[in-house]
Amino acid sequence: MRRNGFSRLAAFVASVVVVCTSVAAAELDIPGNYGNEAGCRHAKTNDYSEEDMLLLTPRDVGTHVTLCSFVQIFPAEADSQVAIVTCGHEGEGETTLGLMRVQKSPDGVDAYLIFDQDGGMWGKVGRC
Where do the structural domains in the chain lie, given as residue ranges?
25-127
Residue 123 pLDDT exceeds 90:
yes
What's the rounded Cα separation, in Å, for the pair 39 and 64? Answer: 9
Residue 91 pLDDT exceeds 50:
yes
Residue 37 CB neighbour total at 10 angstroms:
13
Considering only the C-alpha atoms of the chain, give the largest distance between any 2 of them, rounded to a whole number of Å: 54
What's the rounded Cα separation, in Å, for the pair 8 and 31? Answer: 39
Residue 104 pLDDT exceeds 90:
yes
Tell whether pTM > 0.75.
Answer: yes
Residue 50 pLDDT exceeds 60:
yes
Whole-number average pLDDT of the chain? 84
What's the rounded Cα separation, in Å, for the pair 56 and 67? Answer: 10
Residue 23 pLDDT exceeds 90:
no
What's the rounded Cα separation, in Å, for the pair 100 and 83? Answer: 5
